Structure 1
Amino acid sequence: MTVTETTGGTAKADAPDLLTVTGLVRHFPIRKGLLQREVAAVQAVDGVDFTVKRGETLSLVGESGCGKSTTGRLLTRLDEPTAGRIVFEGRDITHLSDGQMRPLRRDIQMIFQDPYSSLNPRHTVGKIVGAPYRLQGVNPEGGVKKAVQAVLELVGLNPEHYNRYPHEFSGGQRQRIGIARTLALKPKLIVADEPVSALDVSIQAQVVNLLEDLQEELDLTYVFIAHDLSVVRHVSDRVAVMYLGKIVEIADREGLYGAPMHPYTTALMSAVPVPDTKRRTQRDRIRLQGDVPSPINPPPACRFHTRCWKAQDICKTQEPPLLELAPRHQVACHFPENAPTQTQPQTQTQTQTQPPTP
C-alpha cells in the first residue's frame, strides 16, 4: 500500500488546543435479577487524558476491546460519559443534552467503520449526503442539490451519482459517500473510527490519501482510530496507545515508532508485517503470553503486568502514572524501554548533582 507522508511538526505542536479530554471514564453496568441490580461493570474507558491540537491528527491504537472506539463515541457525544470532562474549543460538552449538542454537530462529526451498514439502503446518495443540511436547517447557496454535488466531487465521486443508491457502489465508493456526509457542514473535528479497516488494501491507500488531502485543503482536525500500525504511521502527527481502557503511551509519530518506551507498544510494533525479508529475519518478534484480561475485572495496578516480560512486584501493587520521560513523549510504565536516564523522575535530582563523567 502506497500512501503519502504527512508533515507534522512545530507548527501543529504550537497550535491551540481544539479538544481537551480529562479523566474520561465510561463503564457499562451489568445487571441481573428481577430488580435488575448492578452486579458489575465493563470498564471500557477508565481514566483517559489527552489533548488534540487544531489541524493535527491524533491516532488511538490498540487491540480489539481496548476502548478506542468507545472513546471516539464519547468524543462525539454519541455515548454518555460516566465521569471526566470533554472540552471543545473551551466549552465543556461532557453532559450537554441532545438539544444543546445539536448546534455543535456542525463542528464535530464521525466517519464510521462499516461503509455498508452506515448508509441507509433506502435513501439515495443525494438524500444521505443532504441529510445534515435538513437536520441543521441550513440552506446553502444555490440549494442543497448543488451543495451535495460539490461535496461528492470533493471526495472523488461523480456529481451524477446524486440519484443512485448505496448498493450500486463498491466499498471504497460507499466510504467516500460517508466521508461526503461528514464534510457537508464543514466540521472542525472529525473522529474517524477505523475508516479503512473494512476496505481492500488497494482501496485503503486511496481513502487515506483522500483524508490527508481533505485535511490540508479544509484545515480539518482528526482523531483517527485504528489497529493497523502501518496506516497509523502515515496519517498521524501523534499516536496514543491504549490497553484495557487506559492510555499507556502517547508521543509524536517519530518518537513512538523510533523508540517505543512501553513494553506493550514494543510488542505491537514487532507484530507489524515487514515486506523486506532481510529486515524481517533481523528483528525480534515479541509474542505476548496469555489472553487480554476481562475489562469487567481488570488486573490491579499496571493492567499489562499479567502479560509483560518486564513486570516486577511494584507493577502488581502500584499503578504507574503517565509521565513525560522525553520531549512530547509520555509513558505509563515503571520500567520503560528506550527511556533517557536523565529524564526519569526517580533519577532526575541525582543526575543533576553528579559531576559529568570525564
Structure 2
Amino acid sequence: MSTSQSPAGAEGTVAAPGANAKPARTGEPLLEVTDLRKHFPVTAGLLRRQVATVKAVDGVSFSVHKGQTLGLVGESGCGKTTTGRMIMKLLDSTSGKIAFEGHDITRYSQARMRPLRRDIQMIFQDPYSSLNPRKTVGAIVGAPFRLQNIQTENGVKKAVQELLELVGLSPEHYNRYPHEFSGGQRQRIGIARTLALKPKLIVADEPVSALDVSVQAQVVNLLEDLQDELDLTYVVIAHDLSVVRHISDRVAVMYLGKLVEIADRDDLYERPMHPYTKALLSAVPIPDPAQRDNRERIRLQGDVPSPLDPPPACRFHTRCWKAQDICKQVEPPLVELSPGHMAACHFPENTTVSETDVVAKAAVVSPEAD
C-alpha cells in the first residue's frame, strides 16, 4: 500500500501479525546501544548533598537494523522513555555507548548533534502538548526546514502541504490551528513534522496511547505504510503489547531499568522465557471468550519496587513465583537461550535450558564475574 492510500487504512483494523514481514537483518546495525545507564542523583538538606540515586536505566543493550522496528515494552516507570530520550540525546547518559551508523554519538555536544537531527527524529506521546497552540499547522510542520536552514525545491509551503497529504490530512489544513483537530489528527500533524527532514531513525514514544482504540489502529497502519514507503527504522516505546505485536519485528522487555528479555516478535509472544514477560502476555485482552477461558492468568503479587532501592541480584525476584535463593544472590545476565532469543533468568520458561546451562552461558558472557 502506498502512503497516499494511508487514510484508507483508517478502517480501524490492524494487519495480522507477520503479514508485513521485514527483510532479514544483515550488516552493521543502524543503531546500537551498549550498557546504557542513566542515574539521577537525589539530594537533601541545605547543602543539597546527594543522599541516594535513582537508577532509571541500568545497563541496557540492544541494536536495530535499517528498515526494522524494535518494540520497547514494560510497566510505567521501567525506564523505557528515559532510554528513548537518551537515544535522542535529549538526556545525557551516565555511562554506556550509543552508536548511530557506526559512529559513537554518546558524548556529542548539542552543536555537533544539530546536523544529526535530520537523521534521528521523535514522535511524542501527547499529541496535545507536543504542538504549539499559538502556531498554525503550516508553521509547526515547516519549523524543521527553518531550524535546519533547508531550502526546498518548490518552497516550504508546498513541502508542508505534501507532508500533510502524506499522513492523510488535507493540504487545506495548512492555515489551521491545533485546537481545530482531533487527537488522531494532531498525532498525524506530529508525524508530518517528524518526517519533514527525511529521517533514517524515528523514536516513537507511546505514539498511540493517548488516542481512542479505533484511532490507534489508523495511526499504527499509517506508521507501517510510511515505513514501507520511506524505508524508515523505528524504536517504538509502548506498554500496550497488542500494538507492539503488530508493528514490531523484535521486542525488548524492560523491568526496573533493565532488559529482561529480547527476541523476534513471534518467538517472544509464542514462547516467552522470562516469567515477567509471561505475566505481561497473560494480561493482554483476548476478544474470543473461548480462548480467554482457557488461558492461564498470572497476577503478580506486590508493587514494582522503587528504583531508589531496587532488590539485589534479580530485580524481579520479589514478585516472581519461581524465585529461589540464587535469584536473591546472583544477578542473571542477559544470555542467548535459543537462536535470537535472549533472557535474563535463572529458571527460564519454555526452554530446555537448565540452571547449570544458564550459569555456564553467563560465565562466557562475563568471565570476570568469578
Aligned equivalent of 1:259: 271
Q: Write the distance in 2 (CA, Å) between the matches of 1:101 and 1:219.
A: 22
**Closer, same or farther: CA 9–176 of 1 in aligned 2, 3 Å:** closer
Contact 2:34 2:98 in 1 (8 A): yes
Query: Is 1:19 the counterpart of 2:31 in the alignment?
Result: yes
Query: Is 1:124 the counterpart of 2:136 in the alignment?
Result: yes
Q: Write the distance in 2 (CA, Å) between the matches of 1:195 and 1:281.
A: 31
Which stretch of the first structure deviates more once superposed, 178-187 or 338-347?
Answer: 338-347
Query: Is 1:97 the counterpart of 2:122 in the alignment?
Result: no
Residue 208 of structure 1 is aligned with which of 216, 220, 232? 220
Matches within 5 A, 1:179-198: 179-198=191-210
Aligned equivalent of 1:327: 339
For residues 76-120 of structure 1, the C-alpha deviation after alignment (integer angstroms, 9 at most, x for no partner) is: 001110110000001111111100000000000000000000000
**Offset of residue 34 of structure 1:** 1.3
Q: Write the distance in 1 (CA, Å) between the matches of 2:145 and 2:238.
A: 29
Contact 1:28 1:44 in 2 (8 A): yes
Which stretch of the first structure deviates more once superposed, 273-282 or 298-307?
Answer: 273-282
Query: Is 1:152 the counterpart of 2:153 in the alignment?
Result: no
Query: Is 1:41 the counterpart of 2:50 in the alignment?
Result: no
Aligned equivalent of 1:3: 14
Q: Write the distance in 2 (CA, Å) between the matches of 1:226 and 1:284.
A: 23
For residues 12-66 of structure 1, the C-alpha deviation after alignment (integer angstroms, 9 at most, x for no partner) is: 3225300010010001111111111111111110000000011000000000000
Q: Write the distance in 2 (CA, Å) between the matches of 1:293 and 1:214.
A: 39
Identical positions, percent: 72
Q: Write the distance in 1 (CA, Å) between the matches of 2:252 and 2:359.
A: 26
Q: Write the distance in 1 (CA, Å) between the matches of 2:115 and 2:65.
A: 22
**Offset of residue 4 of structure 1:** 1.5
Matches within 5 A, 1:1-358: 2-5=13-16, 6=18, 11-341=23-353, 345-346=357-358
Partner SS, residue 30 of structure 2: strand
TM-score, normalised to structure 2, is 0.92
Aligned equivalent of 1:354: none
**Closer, same or farther: CA 340–229 of 1 in aligned 2, 3 Å:** same
Which stretch of the first structure deviates more once superposed, 27-36 or 226-235?
Answer: 27-36
Partner SS, residue 127 of structure 1: helix
Contact 2:347 2:354 in 1 (8 A): no
**Closer, same or farther: CA 299–194 of 1 in aligned 2, 3 Å:** same
Which stretch of the first structure deviates more once superposed, 295-304 or 13-22?
Answer: 13-22
Q: What is the one-letter code of the residue matched to 2:321? A: W
**Offset of residue 347 of structure 1:** 9.1
Aligned equivalent of 2:7: none
Partner SS, residue 190 of structure 2: helix
**Closer, same or farther: CA 343–186 of 1 in aligned 2, 3 Å:** farther
Partner SS, residue 23 of structure 2: helix
Partner SS, residue 341 of structure 1: coil
Contact 1:12 1:55 in 2 (8 A): no
**Offset of residue 8 of structure 1:** 6.3
Q: Write the distance in 2 (CA, Å) between the matches of 1:323 and 1:290.
A: 27
Number of equivalences: 349
**Closer, same or farther: CA 195–339 of 1 in aligned 2, 3 Å:** same
TM-score, normalised to structure 1, is 0.95
RMSD: 1.6
